[in-house]
Structure 1
Amino acid sequence: MTDYPQLELLIGGEAIGAAGRETIDVLDPASGDVIAALPAATAADLDAALDSVSKGFKSWRKTSADEREAVLRKGAALIRERAKEIGAAITLEQGKPFKEAVGETIYCAMLLEFYAGECKRLYGRTLVRPDGQRAEVRYEPVGPVAGFSAWNFPALNVMRKVGGPLAAGCSVIVKPSEETPAGGLGIVKALHDAGVPGEVLQCVFGVPSDISEHLLASPVIRKVTFTGSTAVGKHLAKLAAEDLKRTTMELGGHGPVLIFNDADIDKALDTMSANKFRNAGQVCVSPTRFLVEEDVFERFRDGFVERAKAIKVGNGMDGDTQMGPMASQRGPDGIQAKVADALDKGAKLEAGGNRIGNQGFFHEPTVLSEVPLDAEIMNEEPFGPVALINPMKGEAAMVEEANRLPYGLAAYAWTQDAGRRMRMASDIEAGMVAINNGSVSAADAPFGGVKWSGSGLEDGAEGVTACLVSKTVHESA
C-alpha cells in the first residue's frame, strides 16, 4: 500500500512513460526526497492530444445518456475499490493523513455517482407555439474541455475537472498538478477501465505555463476549467478570452468565520479548529479569519489555542497523525514570512509559529491573535496551518470585515439567533456560507465563489450545466 505508482502521460489511449524524455521530479513532502520521475509532454504530444480529444468529442457526444451513466457509475465503483491504493499515493506525494486521502478518494466516487445520474437530467423544453410551428430549447455539450487542477486535493480536483464534462458529453484533456500527479492519474485510469475511451479523456503533464498556453491557443478547446490561485486564474481567463472560450475558475479565498456571543462556543471550537488544520490548512475553503465578538473573544481564543497545541503532527502514513507536512518547501517558507510580517506589525503569537524538524516540510499549527488589518496575512490567503483570531465590536463590524477583501469563496457564521442566521445568509459576500457547521461542500450542491474567488460552478447539477450550451430550434411544418 506504500508503493508509489508508475507515472505516465495518457494520450489517445496510449500510456507514455518517462523513458527517453524530459522528466519532472516528484517529492515526498514528509522527507523532501525524490520518489518518482514524471514524464513531461512535448508540443508534439499536446498536438496529438488535441487531435485525439477532437475525435473523442465527436463520438462521446453521440453516446447515449444511459451508456454514459453506466460507464460513470462503473468508474465510481472502481474508484471505491481502489480508494486505499489511490489514497496511499496521495499521502506519499501530498502529505495529508492517509485517512483524509482515502476520504478524498471516496468523495470522488460520490461526486461521480451524482454526475452519472445527471446524464439523464439534461432537460430541454418546448415553447408554446400555434399549430404548424414548434420551438424547442436544447442543451448540448460545449465541446472539448481543458482542465487544470491544483495540488492540494490531487484526486478531487481532477474529478471536478472531468466528471461534469463527461456527464455532459464533452471530451477532456486534464492536467493534474506536476507536484501531485498520481492521485489524478488514479482517477483517470479508473475511468478508462470503466469504459471511457482514451480519446475522450486524456492526461498530460509538463511545465504548467507551456501546457496551458499550447492548449488554450487551439480552437479545438472550447472550455477551460481551472482550480488554483487568483493570479493564475486571471492569466488563464485572459488567454481564454482571446478565443472567447467558456471558463470555470475556482480560485483563492480567505475564509472569514463570524463567532457571535450567543454561539455554541465549544461546538464552534471543536468544528472549526479541526477544519482549520485539515490538510495543513491547504484548503481553498479553509476557515482563516476568526472574527469573534468581544464578549467571548478570550474564551474562544484560549480554547482554540488549546486545541491547536494538541494536534499530532507527523508523517501522513502514521495512523495517529492528525496533520501531515505541507506539500512543498514553498509552504513553510511562505508561512514563516507572513507570520514574521504579522508579528512585526503587532500581532500576538499564541501558538506554534515554527517549522518542525529539518526534514520534510512540516510546520506547527499556529495561532495569531489581534492581527492588524495591514498585516499581509490578513489580506493574502496564507494557505497553511495558521488561524487569525481578532476581537470584534458587533455584527455590523464583523460583516464589514468579512466582506472587506476581494475574495468570496467560503464563509462561516456561528449564532443561535434565527434572525441573525437569516441576515448572515444574505449579507455575507461568498459563494458558499456555512452556518453553525463547518461544511460547504456536497456532491449535489454547487461549489464556487464570487469576486476574485472565481466564476462558474462545479459539483451539483451546475457542474454539468456549466459544460452545456443552449440551442433554440424554431420549426414550421
Structure 2
Amino acid sequence: MTATMDKASELRAARARSGLKHFIGGAWVDSASGETFETHAPSDNSVITHAASGNAEDIDRAARAAHDAFPAWRALDGKARRKILYKVAALIEDRAEEIALLESLDTGQPIRFMRSAAARAAENFRFFADRAEGAQDGLSLPAKGFLNYTVRQPIGPVGVITPWNTPFMLSSWKIAPALAAGCTVVHKPAEWSPVTATLLAEILDEAGVPKGVVNLVHGYGETAGKALTEHPLIKAIAFIGESSTGSLIQKQGADTLKRTHLELGGKNPMVVFADADLDRALDAAVFMLYSLNGQRCTSSSRLLVERGIYEEFAAGIAERVANIRVGDPLDPDTEVGPLIHPRQFDKVCSYFDIARQDGATVAVGGERLGDTGNYVRPTLFTNARTDMRIAQEEIFGPVLTVIPFDDEADALRIANDVKYGLAGYLWTNDVTRAHNFAQGLDVGMVWVNSENVRHLPSPFGGMKASGIGRDGGDYSFDFYMETKNIAVNLDGHRAQKFGVGERGSAKPTLGTAPEKKLAE
C-alpha cells in the first residue's frame, strides 16, 4: 500500500508540474485563449493539476489537423496500420501501472479494477489491429450479367467524446477501431477525468501514429464538445455518456448531417427466478452493481426477484452489501471508492430521501461516509415498485433497487418498463424460459446466468434511450466506414434507347427539333 501511494504521489506531482495540454497536429499546445481548468482527486477533492480549456478555435485547429492527415492515413496499407496499433498495445502494457494509478487517482475507481482496465485497453488496440488489414473488405453480390461487390472506405475525420467512469479503457474502445478503419480522430475527454487522455496521446505519438492522425482537446462539453459536434470537417461523432447529452449531440450535428454513434445510459434489469442457481446469482447481483463504484452503464441497477424467494434473496444481498469495503481507491483491498465529483455525489445522495418519500425501504446505507471526499455507503433499496423514481432513473452510483415480481409475464413487464434499453441479465435454469424471456427484453444485450462478460467481436449497444449503433468487431467498422457498391457489366447489357424519335424515322437534327417541339 505504501509503495503504491508513493508511486501515485510521484506521478501526481509530475502531472501537476507539467499540466495537461492539448495535442494538436503532433504538438503539445496551450489553449488559444490561455484558459485552464482544475481537475480534482475524488478522495479529498484536492487539485491534481490544471488542464488547458479548449474552445471553438482549438477544436478548429484540431479538426483541420485531422482533415489534413486523413488522406495519407487512409492510403496507408492495413498491415502498416496494424503494426502501429500493435506498438500502441505494447506501450500501454509497458505503462499499465502508471495508467492504473493515475486513473484511480483521477476517477476514484479502485486500483484493482483500473489495473484490469489498462490491460483491457491494450487488448482493444490489439484486437482492432488484427482487423486493420481486412477493414475495407466487403461482399460479393453476383447478379445476372453483372459483377456486384462492396468495399468499405473510412468516413474521414471523426470526433470521439469519452466519459469519466473508466476513461482510458473506453477511449481505446472508440479510438482503436477508428484508427484501424483509416479514420483520423479528434478526442475530447470528459472534463472530470482528463488525466489519462494525455497518457494515451503520449503513447500514440511514441508508437509512431503520424502527426495529426489523433488530436486531443481538453475542455467542457458546452464549449469544446459543442464545437466538435458542429464542426463541418468532422464527419461523425462517437459518444459515450448521458442520454440527455446524446440528444444534444444529435441536434448539434444535424446541420452538417453528421453521423452519430451514441452509447448512453441504462437502468438495466437483473431478473432472478426461483429455479436459478441462487448463490451464483447473488454473487453476480452484488458484483454487477457495486463494482466500479456503481458507475458503469451496464450495471444491473434494478434487481427483479421472484416473490417466493424475494425476502431470503434480498436479505442475502443486504448482508453482502453491508460488508463491502469502502476506502481509498489506491488501496488494493478497497472494493468501492469515492464518486467522481461533488456534483455526482450530491445527485446520488439525493435519491436516499427520494426513496424514503416514495415508500421504499433503505435496507443498507443511504448516507455519506466521512467528512472529506465523495464517499457514500453502498446502498440497498428494498420493497420498491417499478413506478418509483429509484426504479426509473439512472442513479449511477453504488445504489441497488430490489423489486419483487409474481410470474414471468410480470417480470417482463417490469423489466421493460423504463425508457432505457442497454443490457439485461437473466437467471434461470429453464432453457425455454431463458430464450423466450431474453428475446422479449427490450435491450441490446442479454446475459443468461452470467454477469457482463465481454466478447470483443460481439455487438455492444442499446435500444430506446440507451443509444444508437453498435461497437465491437465489424460492427465498429459499420460506423467508421462507408459501404460502397460497385456494379460491373459483364454480358454487354445496354440501356434502352431514349430520345431517338419514332422507330424508323429520321434522326432529328440536334438543336432544331426540340425548339420546334417547344414552340408547338
Verify: 1:58 aligned to 2:71, yes or no.
Answer: yes
Alignment counterpart, residue 440 of structure 2, candidates 427, 431, 443: 427
Cross-structure match for 1:146: 159
> How many Å apart are 1:127 and its aligned residue?
3.5
Query: Kindly tell me: are residues 391 and 20 of structure 1, through their superposed partners in 2, closer, same or farther at Cα, counting changes over 3 Å?
Result: closer
Query: Kindly tell me: are residues 457 and 310 of structure 1, through their superposed partners in 2, closer, same or farther at Cα, counting changes over 3 Å?
Result: same
Whole-angstrom distance in 2 between the partners of 1:144 and 1:20 = 24
Alignment counterpart, residue 474 of structure 1, candidates 487, 507, 514: 487
Q: After alignment, is 402-411 or 118-127 more displaced?
A: 118-127
**SS of alignment partner, residue 173 of structure 1:** strand
Q: After alignment, is 121-130 or 269-278 more displaced?
A: 121-130
Cross-structure match for 2:49: 36
Verify: 1:8 aligned to 2:18, yes or no.
Answer: no
**SS of alignment partner, residue 119 of structure 1:** coil
Whole-angstrom distance in 1 between the partners of 2:410 and 2:148 = 52
Cross-structure match for 1:217: 230
Amino acid at match of 1:183: T
Cross-structure match for 1:68: 81
Q: After alignment, is 186-195 or 82-91 more displaced?
A: 186-195
Alignment counterpart, residue 362 of structure 2, candidates 349, 355, 367: 349
Whole-angstrom distance in 2 between the partners of 1:159 and 1:14 = 21
Alignment counterpart, residue 242 of structure 1, candidates 216, 231, 255: 255
Query: Kindly tell me: are residues 110 and 386 of structure 1, through their superposed partners in 2, closer, same or farther at Cα, counting changes over 3 Å?
Result: same
Whole-angstrom distance in 2 between the partners of 1:184 and 1:431 = 28
Cross-structure match for 2:505: none
Whether contact under 8 Å (2:78, 2:134) holds in the other structure is no
Verify: 1:199 aligned to 2:208, yes or no.
Answer: no
Cross-structure match for 2:187: 174
Q: Deviations over 1:388-427 (max 9, x none)?
A: 1111101110111101111100110111111111112211
Whole-angstrom distance in 1 between the partners of 2:300 and 2:429 = 20
Alignment counterpart, residue 422 of structure 2, candidates 392, 399, 409: 409
**SS of alignment partner, residue 184 of structure 1:** helix
Whole-angstrom distance in 2 between the partners of 1:218 and 1:391 = 48
Query: Kindly tell me: are residues 295 and 129 of structure 1, through their superposed partners in 2, closer, same or farther at Cα, counting changes over 3 Å?
Result: closer
Amino acid at match of 2:415: A
Cross-structure match for 2:128: 115
Whole-angstrom distance in 1 between the partners of 2:138 and 2:299 = 37
Whole-angstrom distance in 2 between the partners of 1:424 and 1:445 = 20
Verify: 1:159 aligned to 2:172, yes or no.
Answer: yes
Q: Note the 1:234-383 alignment, pairs <5 A.
A: 234-383=247-396
Cross-structure match for 1:457: 470
Q: Deviations over 1:435-454 (max 9, x none)?
A: 11101533222211011100
Cross-structure match for 2:455: 442
> How many Å apart are 1:17 and its aligned residue?
4.7
**SS of alignment partner, residue 109 of structure 2:** coil
Whole-angstrom distance in 2 between the partners of 1:470 and 1:88 = 41
Cross-structure match for 2:140: 126
**SS of alignment partner, residue 301 of structure 2:** strand
Q: Deviations over 1:58-77 (max 9, x none)?
A: 11100101001111111111
**SS of alignment partner, residue 368 of structure 1:** strand
Point out 4+ residue stretches in structure 1 off by more than 4 angstroms: 17-20
> How many Å apart are 1:251 and its aligned residue?
0.2
Whether contact under 8 Å (2:31, 2:58) holds in the other structure is no
Whole-angstrom distance in 2 between the partners of 1:362 and 1:191 = 34
> How many Å apart are 1:19 and its aligned residue?
11
Cross-structure match for 1:91: 104
Percent of aligned positions that are identical: 33
Query: Kindly tell me: are residues 135 and 307 of structure 1, through their superposed partners in 2, closer, same or farther at Cα, counting changes over 3 Å?
Result: same
> How many Å apart are 1:338 and its aligned residue?
1.4
Q: Which runs of 5+ in 1 are unaligned?
A: none
Whole-angstrom distance in 2 between the partners of 1:440 and 1:255 = 15
Larger radius of gyration: 2
Whole-angstrom distance in 2 between the partners of 1:21 and 1:192 = 24
Q: Deviations over 1:154-185 (max 9, x none)?
A: 10221122111111100000111111112222
Q: Deviations over 1:215-273 (max 9, x none)?
A: 23222111111000000001101122222111100000001010100011111111220
Q: Deviations over 1:251-303 (max 9, x none)?
A: 00001010100011111111220221111101111111111001111111011
Amino acid at match of 2:461: G
Whole-angstrom distance in 2 between the partners of 1:103 and 1:18 = 33
Query: Kindly tell me: are residues 55 and 341 of structure 1, through their superposed partners in 2, closer, same or farther at Cα, counting changes over 3 Å?
Result: same
Whether contact under 8 Å (1:281, 1:384) holds in the other structure is yes
Whole-angstrom distance in 2 between the partners of 1:19 and 1:34 = 23
Give the alignment's TM-score, normalised by structure 1. Answer: 0.96
Whole-angstrom distance in 2 between the partners of 1:458 and 1:448 = 7
> How many Å apart are 1:372 and its aligned residue?
3.1
Whether contact under 8 Å (2:55, 2:223) holds in the other structure is no
Whether contact under 8 Å (2:269, 2:425) holds in the other structure is yes
Tell me the matched-pair count: 476
